[in-house]
Chain A
Amino acid sequence: MQKYWSVLFGAVITAAVGLFVVAPFMGWWLPRNVSSFGGDVDLLFYLILGITGFFFVLTEAILVYGIWKFSSDPTRKATYTHGNHKLEVLWTIVPAGILVMIGIVQVRTWENIKYQSRMPRPGANTQQIEVVARQWEWRIRYPSPKRMASWRSDPRLAQDFGAVPHQDDVHVPNELHVWRHQKGEEPQKVLVHLKTRDVLHSMKLVNLRLMQDAVPGKTIPVWFMVEEYNTSLHPETGRWVDGFDPKTGHWNQKDYVWELACAEFCGTRHTAMKGKLFVHKNRDDFLEWLKWAEAEDHRRTPAVPSTEP
């Protein structure tokens, strides 16, 4: 009787593995990667998934086999391996070796994404944005078009963006707008100055394979470079809208709505702490939007924004 437990275990393992196999075809797999380093992160993910998956299946298979084979005979005596040095050394060294290997393999990706020495420098060509997390939203500050233009004429002026807000800066809550990097161009990197006004938060952009905690009292630099875009001027509403698939020209594409989520539990509304990533086709399109956002954020006449282009 008891050996039929092994059937249950075996079924669970098979179902789990089966789920992995069908997931990518059902749209349950990783969301679209659009950043320059996302591919490296995914590669590491697959490597680790492969290793852990292999050992998972191996150990479970042994377990199932063991139950099936030995449990039906209650008189059979168990053999103990406790104190068997050879075995213990083996199962310490093999996992340790694998861990070290993973550690070595990942270091270049980590360095590329997280080392401050690899971050883009503030300057004429770096997009700079300040993202301030607070319970429960993202307050985002952009340089005004004029401030950005001044960086082009004198890159040194770009140094103080993260520390010194200007009166003419542009504030847009929950909307992270950047422009795309096109292959073959000079790199169009984004430098985010990440802060929090209250507790710990974490900026998570799954489509960029990027995550960084925001720590009270600190300004943490984060960089990325996006290689696809999802935002364009909507011909009907006259607004910049995401969910645009440039290949087909269709709107409302789920695959092209990219979330900016909080990934560190920060209070009751943590789950609602969501913004969006808007990637423009190029710098010019971004600047058009920025001009529109500036006019809104510095509005001096009453007007219903929704009817205004």
Chain B
Amino acid sequence: MNVLFRAQASRQVVVRAALMFVAVIGLAGCDQMMNDRYSLDMRYPPRSDPVFKEATISGEELQYPDRPGQLPILSLANAEDPENPLFKPAKAGMLLAPSKANAEARKNLNESLEKVFGTPARPKVAPDSELAGTLQAELQLDERTLRRGSRLYRIQCLHCHGLSGDGRGPTAFWVNPHPRDYRQGVFKFTSVTLQQSAQKPRREDLLRTLRQGIDGTSMPSFGTMTEDELQAIVSYVIHLSMRGEVEYQVLVELTQNPSLAKPETSVDEWIAGLARYWLDAQKPENEIIPEPYPFALHPETDAEKVAIRDAVRRGATFFADAQVGCVTCHTDYGRNAKFRYDVWGTLTKPADLTTGIYRGGRRPIDLYYRMHSGINGSGMAAFKDAAVKSGKVKSLWDIVKFVEILPYPAMRNEYGIHID
């Protein structure tokens, strides 16, 4: 006891306590001042996880669910390992490791990416062409907006979507489905009429995702942030996606041909190509414009109710069509659907339509978009032509109405739909 209280020791204790106090206060202060800023010499890390040789491997049905903690099964380095239970000979060679590419070429790639896209603290989209001006103006990719977006992204999104938008932030492993990997350039929920390959989201689509979140997944709503902030984040997401997709496309070339010192199509050419897709998606003429909604929101008269009942029945017939209909994937209204791969190499499942939870939004217009163009990357087909051509429905609204009433037992009774 006595020893402890010797002046010497007590002075040490005081000094230690004081240091600790200062450290705690200091760290707390730092956190306050620094937490929305990247350090200036931080770089986007070069992509090291495997890339797919072909963008689309989706469609295959599978019973084996992936779990949190096993981020994209196919991307695990050992997916090509025959010992792996998920190994299928057909998949061998599907994945390419970036490390196999020519080291010199990878270094070049990194440098040109940084020249065009900057760093996390100083993001930009500045390709070496007249395109830069158009992009910055029409997609709001100017440096001021991107810098603001980058800071907000760092606070709100990074822990899920990752520094480079790879969908592998610290939280990502623990949530299922895993957060979106922007680097494939594919987004699920769009309102664009273009071909799937060219189908980028409109800014409004990304804004809707941010405002509403993605119900049924861990992606929360950011609706209480201001309009300005959301716009800035959207710009930054587009920046990350463009950067990631350019890197991805060039890496596919480089890994397929490991001796290649220089990719055949340069970074600038890829940007020009992808920028066109992004710009096209924003054009008003490429937005999905549905036929006028044919039903009453709150049906009162008998005629209105009959109109809805007939539509729901037409929708149900199309749904159940064994050849082209929805049951081909949504077995038992989705209650018994099988897992399948999506283009990110993770697993997804045709939605259970009796729950009333829609990832892409529950508004009739959202469901219309889904019926019209499908859900990119997940394998959900587009029905814009098939449905009406089949002669079973008058417009996609019939199917929307049917989907809308499915989760509500009282309404199913009212319209004579029996699912059990």
Closest A residue, CB atoms, query B204: A304
With a cutoff of 8 Å between Cβ atoms, the chain A residues found around residue B407 in the complex are 167
Question: Which B residue sits closest to A172, measured CB to CB?
Answer: B223
Task: Confirm or deny: B224 has a beta carbon within 8 angstroms of a beta carbon on chain A.
Answer: yes
Chain B residue at smallest Cβ distance from A71: B5
Q: Does A275 interact with chain B (Cβ within 8 Å)?
A: yes
- The reply to whether B364 and A2 form a contact with Cβ atoms under 8 Å apart is no
Inter-chain CA distance A139–B221, complex, in Å, is: 9
Interface of A is mostly: loop
**Inter-chain contact B356/A298, CB cutoff 8 Å:** no
List the B side residues contacting A32 at CB < 8 Å.
none
For the side of the interface on A, what is the size category?
35 or more
Q: How far is the CA of A164 from the CA of B409 in the complex (A)?
A: 10
B197 at the interface (CB under 8 A from A): no
Is the C-beta of A268 less than 8 angstroms from some C-beta in chain B? yes
Tell whether A9 is near chain B: CB-to-CB under 8 Å. Answer: no
Please, which residue of chain A has its CB at the minimum distance from the CB of B14?
Answer: A8
Binary CB contact string for chain B from 191 to 224 against chain A (1 if under 8 A, 0 otherwise): 1000000000000100000001101001011011
From A296, which residue of chain B is reached at the shortest CB distance? B363
Q: Is the CB of B223 within 8 A of A173?
A: yes
Which of the residues B170, B220, B297 comes within 8 Å of A168, measured between beta carbons?
B297
Enumerate chain B residues within 8 angstroms of A144, measured Cβ to Cβ: 298
Q: Are B293 and A274 in contact (CB under 8 A)?
A: no
The answer to whether B220 touches A299, judged by C-beta atoms less than 8 angstroms apart, is no
Which partner residue on chain A sits nearest B5 by CB separation? A2
Across chains A and B, the number of contacting residue pairs, with CB separation under 8 Å, is 85
Q: Is A152 an interface residue (CB 8 A)?
A: no
Q: Which residue on chain A has the smallest CB distance to residue B159?
A: A268
B212 touches A173 (CB 8 A): yes
A151 at the interface (CB under 8 A from B): no
How long is the Cα–Cα vector from A164 to B368 in the complex, in angstroms? 25
Q: Is the CB of B365 within 8 A of A299?
A: yes
Question: What's the Cα separation between A274 and B225 when bound, in Å?
Answer: 11
- Cα distance A215–B159 when bound, in Å? 26
A2 touches B10 (CB 8 A): yes
Contacts of B356 in A (CB 8 A): 165
Q: How far does the alpha carbon of A301 sit from the alpha carbon of B292 in the complex, in Å? A: 8
Q: Tell me the A91-139 residues at the B interface (CB within 8 Å).
A: 135-137, 139
A144 CA to B410 CA, complexed, in Å: 16
- Taking A144-B298, A302-B288 as given, write out 6 further A-B residue pairs in contact, using a Cβ cutoff of 8 Å, ordered by the A residue number: A135-B175, A137-B221, A168-B298, A173-B215, A269-B159, A301-B290
Would you list 9 pairs from A and B whose C-beta atoms are within 8 A, ordered by A residue?
A135-B218, A167-B408, A173-B212, A174-B223, A267-B174, A268-B171, A269-B220, A298-B363, A301-B292
Interface residues of B (CB under 8 A from A): 5, 7, 10, 14, 156, 159, 170-171, 174-175, 191, 204, 212-213, 215, 218, 220-221, 223-224, 227, 287-290, 292-293, 297-298, 356, 362-365, 368, 404-405, 407-408, 410-411
